[in-house]
Amino acid sequence: MSQIFLAVAVVVAQGLLLLAMGFALVRMLRGPRAQDRVLALDAFQVNAMLLLLTIGLRVGSALYVEMALVIALIGSAGTLAFSKFLLRGEVIE
């Protein structure tokens, strides 16, 4: 019984995370200015990372967790680079 609850909970959570990625995608496409798009991209990456974690939990494989770690690393570095670019128009001064 509890196993069924866990399976259903993970699937529902994945649905919610996909919905969240959809929200972020809409803001990315609509966002009036570049900073809105970068903010939405950051949220999109966090949601994708969480989705990978839930997939890893469902499959029981540590590989997905490593992928989530890579997204967490690359995502934050990417957002930082975008922000730096918006600040001055150059990434490295």
Q: Does 91 bind another protein (CB under 8 A)?
A: no
Q: Is 33 helix (H, G, I), strand (E, B) or coil?
A: coil
Kindly state the tokens that stand for 46: 């966090």
Interacting positions 20-39 with another protein (CB under 8 A):
20-21, 23-24, 26-27, 33-36, 38-39
Amino acid symbol at 42: D
- Whether 44 and 76 have beta carbons less than 8 Å apart is answered as no
**Gyration radius (Cα) of the chain, Å:** 16
Residues 3 and 37: their CA atoms lie apart, in Å, by 40
Looking at the Cβ atoms of 5 and 93, the one nearer to another protein is 5
Q: Using the rule CB under 8 A, is 49 a contact of another protein?
A: yes
> What does the binding site for another protein look like in residue numbers (CB under 8 A)?
1-3, 5-10, 12-14, 16-17, 19-21, 23-24, 26-27, 33-36, 38-40, 42-43, 46-47, 49-50, 53-54, 56-58, 60, 62, 65-66, 68-69, 72-73, 76, 79-80, 82-84, 86-87
